[in-house]
Homo-oligomer: A and B are copies of this chain.
Amino acid sequence: MRLLLMSNGSAPGGEYLAHAMSTLRELLAGVDRIAFIAYAQLGLEEHTRVVAAAMAQLDVELVGVHRSHRPASIVEAADAVFVGGGNAFRLLAALHRYDLIDPIRAAVRDGAPYLGSSAGTNMACPSLRTTNDMPIVEPPTFAALNLVPFQINPHYPATEVMGRHLGETRDHRIAEFLEENDVPVLGLQEGSWLQVDHDRARLGGVAGARLFRREEAPVDLKVGADLSDLLTTLGTFDSPGRGCDDRGTR
């Protein structure tokens, strides 16, 4: 599998995808057509136009899967898949509604590069559970594409004060996730990405990341960090009722 899982679409202050262009060019060598999944945003055509314009110099054709009555057929006919950002709940609901989960997984396992940005990066994880987005629609399940065995939190704040979400910091929110689930969470700062090439994973881009594990101190990571070990993670998503003496009758 080859994955490029971007925190978001740009480096802070930069143009859309400009920070990733040389990496995209390398990853997409030999690719003629990319299936683009725009469902995270309301305006599907506008979203597709913006991404197509940013990728124009790469000499690839970007086709929105929403253009077909059977969106999976666009995935099946493409050489790569790009899932754009927006609202992760809206996106996951659409992936299930249009029966795109299995076709995307099959394409990626057969060698098609998977590019994700923000909500599109959330989708590569086992679950939606570490999105920052508001649950504006209700997907049939939180289960996502499960291309990697750990969770990613996109838009991870570079300085904690910026992540204060009135009430809670981002780190507090991720700590709550780890109370319920024993699965590592990679917080990707804006401008950073995780690149996976078969059994190798590496932090790329122009910003860092922070790795959270249950009952361990978080670890700050710099561009170039080798994260291949994460690909063999054996995590456990728990129901809320995992053992805890303080939980009364649970």
Give A contacts to B, CB under 8 Å.
Answer: 8, 39, 42-46, 64, 66-69, 71, 87, 90, 93-94, 97, 118, 127-138, 141-142, 154-157, 162-167, 170, 173-174, 176-177, 179-181, 190, 239-241, 244, 246-250
Nearest 7 A-B pairs (CB), nearest first? A66-B248, A155-B166, A155-B167, A134-B173, A136-B177, A138-B142, A43-B246
- Asked if A131 contacts B138 (CB within 8 A), the reply is no
In the complex, the count of this chain's copies comes to 2
In the bound assembly, the distance between CA atoms of A67 and B249 in angstroms comes to 7
In the bound assembly, the distance between CA atoms of A153 and B68 in angstroms comes to 37
- Asked if B69 contacts A249 (CB within 8 A), the reply is yes
Residue of B nearest to A131 (CB): B135
- Nearest Cβ in chain B — how far from A146, in angstroms? 15
Chain B residues whose CB sits within 8 angstroms of the CB of A164 once the complex forms: 162
Chain B residues whose CB sits within 8 angstroms of the CB of A94 once the complex forms: 240
Known contacts A8-B167, A42-B176, A131-B134; 14 additional CB pairs below 8 A are: A39-B240, A45-B246, A64-B248, A66-B248, A90-B240, A93-B239, A97-B241, A132-B166, A134-B173, A134-B174, A136-B180, A137-B181, A138-B142, A166-B190
- Asked if A136 contacts B248 (CB within 8 A), the reply is no
Chain B residues whose CB sits within 8 angstroms of the CB of A44 once the complex forms: 246-248
Q: Can you list 18 pairs linking A and B with CB atoms under 8 Å apart?
A: A8-B167, A42-B180, A44-B248, A66-B247, A68-B249, A87-B176, A93-B239, A94-B240, A129-B137, A131-B135, A133-B173, A134-B173, A134-B177, A136-B176, A136-B177, A136-B180, A154-B167, A167-B190
